[in-house]
Structure 1
Amino acid sequence: MLHGVRFLLSAAAAFARLAHAIVSTGWALFFMPLCSPTSTTTAVPAPWQHLQPARSKVHPAALAVDDGKDQLALQAVSSPPPAAVVVVPVLKQHGDRAAEKTAKAARGKPPRLSIPPPVACAPGVDPFGAAADRETDVATEVEVQGEGFCLASRRGVRHAMEDGYGVITDHTIEGGSQLAFYGVYDGHGGRAAVDFVADKLGKNVVAALAAATTSGLSSSSPPPPPTSDEDEVVAAIRAAYLTTDSEFLSQGVRGGACAATALVKDGDLYVANVGDCRAVLGSRGGAATALTSDHTAGREDERRRIESSGGYVSCGSSGVWRVQDCLAVSRAFGDASMKPWVTSEPEVSRRRLTPDCRFLVVASDGLWNKVSCQEAVDAVSAAAAAAAPSSSVGSCKELVALARSRGSRDDITVMVVDLQRFLQ
């Protein structure tokens, strides 16, 4: 009996110890997943853990976590289980955020610019023109009171000044002919073309006339009919325009220029133009007569000429007709990329001067886009009626101011030529 009781007590004690061990092991297994990393990989202590004192509860790598943004991660690092176990998921989360920010920045990055190759030009020639560096030095306003003419010019508000002018007065060529030359030029794409044309065109016209006169005087053929002199001068003007354009293109410089010119020779007035510069005659009765027709891409005859040479003309959303979707004028100096559709061959007209011919208004499109031909003649006539000569610069300034008041933002150049002086 005694032995049986002892056996029962021993079994009960063994069972109690076994139950205590099972309960202790079960609670440990229950809490372990809560403190373990999501990864099943066994954590390997970092090399610096062997060098750190045992009292350090925060893993050094956790210091790299952005303070204020990952406070929960820091709290997890300072918990009793080994810090190295939770560093990997925290840093992985931080790395994912950095990668996401980089991806967002890449999606918003603009496309890479495609820079075209430089324009091939003659050695030592600036492809933007020798005058490109001096564009900012051009005066905003210009006033000229010359012999028998006056001029006023004002820069627009959109870009550097690209207008110009040229004058040759009281020149005598072989044979005794007296001539005078006046021109207004409107450049585009920089000042290179307008500066070149302003310097060369008048000289080339005089040279072409001198060459034609010399060849005519030295010829042993019978005298030509009376109309041949007109044809000779017109041919010389056309040749001078084409020569000037060829000389400019040979430099390999960008840009182009429109022009309206007037040549007075032996009592005859020859007017030529390329582009949208215009010349208007003011008569004694006050009527205005346009002596030029603007060369725009919207002109029907110009469109047919361009299409017959392999080009095309289109109208954009703004209602402006353009050659090859680019240039609004169909004739101009320069513009090498637009050849042969944009030609420099001018339209030339001749008129015999009479006492009824009072003055000539030559201007760039900055004026004509806002002021009509009749309004321009009226302004100059009003200045003459107010005891001011028709060549007074005040009438030119008034026209410039009128165009600006009506919203012209382009360069404006106005020249008034006194024609009465050629009848004396």
Structure 2
Amino acid sequence: MLYAVRFLRSAVAALARLAHALISRALLMSLCSPTTSPATAAAPAPCWQQQLLHPATARPAAKKQVHVPLAHDDGKDQSLQLPLQAAVLSSSSSLPPAPAVVVVPAALKQKQLVAPEKTAKAPRGRPPRLAIPPPVACAPGLDPFGAAAERETDVVTELEVQGDGFCLASRRGVRHAMEDGYGVITDHTIGGGSKMAFYGVYDGHGGRAAVDFVADRLGQNVAAALAASSRHRHHHQQPPEPWSPPPPRTSDEDEAAAGQVDAVVAAIRSAYLTTDREFLTQGARGGACAATALVKDGDLYVANVGDCRAVLGSRGGVATALTSDHTAGREDERRRIESSGGYVSCGSSGVWRVQDCLAVSRSFGDASMKPWVTCEPEVSRRRLTPDCRFLVVASDGLWNKVSCQEAVDVVAGDAGTAASSVGSCKELVAMARNRGSRDDITVMVVDLQRFLR
């Protein structure tokens, strides 16, 4: 770079000297050459001719002042007087006129001939250097993004549970935190000596706030609603008179059974809506889907909101889906949303969404999506028979890659009873992951035969 600058300065200086020499010669020729026009015929001979004709008596040629326009720094043309002096090289009249010698002051010469140095420029095409701040120093176990992030990252990546009459396997997807959860209540006694068992799998979105709250509160709210319904039913039941004959067994038992089923279904719906209202009062963001199973008095009640699913495995190996996913692509869900003032749309990926945002049409939480996304569950009831072997309850991380029949085949092929080990649950999780599932996967298998023994 230094040699290039020096070479450039030398070239500019040479060009400047050549330009000054050419300008000086042109000016000298225009001033000292004889004119042939009639107006100037009587003009005296030039100085160099007078010296050639009378060399002894000729006086030294006077210096002529020639105004040469030069470019100044301020961009304006200013005149500079340059002294020109002609020198006689020979006394012969045939010799050409002598070239003029241009005398330039030293300060001006240095200013004109010295080329200014070029300022260094930044290389083109190179982006500016990024300033990366150092990592935040914090105490061990403290997350720099707050307590909420610390709580979410504390959830284990993989989970295996061997419980009383059920087993579970769960594995985190590629997200920053595990957003699946579960809840179980076994052998809970309700008023009147009736017992119940409750199982639930939950799939959160937008953080763990909703899934943690629902996993903790929904089972308790179901038990509380069933207890309140039982007290209300016994309080309004009229005791028979001692002298009155007993009522007929057929129709009264059928009505009583139907009334009890309706009461349980109403209690489950009330518990779902109560849990949703309680979570919304917390002011937390996010939401959660759920699929739950309640076993009471030999009946199986299955409820769901969102895309978690419960599938029944029978003794013959036939799979029966007991729930239907609540997605924006369902025709009845689309009509319900549009009738409440919302809309559904299908994006470029082929996924239908509510208000261009949420893929499920029912869930806990999601305060910004109310009232289009409701928490009203769909509840179904089935009488348990010896053919009912097990129940598979899982999040959509499994069902997006594994069909209902494939899940039942895997569990039915497990050695021993359906809930004897977590091997079948782990196999289903591995199957979904090998097929490309990137979501959180949670699989629970409930042994239904224990409620018939």
Q: How does 1:217-228 map to 2 (within 5 A)?
A: 217-220=234-237, 225-228=256-259
Give the one of 196, 204, 219 matched to 1:179: 196
Asked if 1:260 corresponds to 2:291, the answer is: yes
Aligned to 2:230: 213
* Structure 2 CA distance for partners of 1:163 and 1:81, relative to 1, 3 Å: same
Equivalent-residue separation in structure 2 for 1:414 and 1:94 (angstroms): 70
Asked if 1:418 corresponds to 2:447, the answer is: yes
Alpha carbons 2:214, 2:275 under 8 Å: kept = yes
Equivalent-residue separation in structure 2 for 1:242 and 1:272 (angstroms): 12
Asked if 1:17 corresponds to 2:53, the answer is: no
SS of equivalent to 1:396 = helix
* Bigger helix share: 1
Alpha carbons 1:37, 1:85 under 8 Å: kept = no
Equivalent-residue separation in structure 2 for 1:379 and 1:226 (angstroms): 36
Asked if 1:81 corresponds to 2:125, the answer is: no
Equivalent-residue separation in structure 1 for 2:113 and 2:421 (angstroms): 92
SS of equivalent to 2:380 = strand
Give the one of 170, 176, 182 matched to 1:159: 176
The Cα offsets for residues 180-219 of structure 1, whole Å up to 9 and x where unpaired, read as 0000000000111000000000000000000111111111
Give the one of 59, 65, 70 matched to 1:33: 70
Equivalent-residue separation in structure 1 for 2:442 and 2:391 (angstroms): 14
Equivalent-residue separation in structure 2 for 1:33 and 1:201 (angstroms): 94
- Segments of structure 1 that go 5 or more residues without pairing to the other structure are 1-7, 43-78, 107-127
Alpha carbons 1:391, 1:416 under 8 Å: kept = no
Root mean square deviation of aligned Cα: 3.1
Q: How does 1:226-375 map to 2 (within 5 A)?
A: 226-375=257-406
Aligned to 2:13: none
Alpha carbons 2:418, 2:446 under 8 Å: kept = no
**Deviation at residue 410 of structure 1 after TM alignment:** 0.6
Alpha carbons 1:335, 1:342 under 8 Å: kept = yes
SS of equivalent to 1:341 = coil
* Structure 2 CA distance for partners of 1:82 and 1:163, relative to 1, 3 Å: farther
Aligned to 1:400: 429
Per the normalisation by structure 1, the TM-score is: 0.74
**Deviation at residue 391 of structure 1 after TM alignment:** 3.7
Aligned to 2:29: none
Alpha carbons 1:129, 1:254 under 8 Å: kept = no
Could you tell me which amino acid in structure 2 is paired with residue 185 of structure 1?
Y
The Cα offsets for residues 217-253 of structure 1, whole Å up to 9 and x where unpaired, read as 1114588643111111001000100010111010110
Alpha carbons 1:381, 1:390 under 8 Å: kept = no
SS of equivalent to 1:340 = coil
* Structure 2 CA distance for partners of 1:161 and 1:81, relative to 1, 3 Å: same
Alpha carbons 2:412, 2:418 under 8 Å: kept = no
Aligned to 2:48: none
Equivalent-residue separation in structure 2 for 1:251 and 1:195 (angstroms): 13
Alpha carbons 1:130, 1:192 under 8 Å: kept = no
Identity %: 74
Aligned to 2:82: none
Asked if 1:198 corresponds to 2:215, the answer is: yes
Alpha carbons 1:297, 1:329 under 8 Å: kept = yes
**Deviation at residue 86 of structure 1 after TM alignment:** 11
SS of equivalent to 1:319 = coil
Moved more, 291-300 or 225-234: 225-234
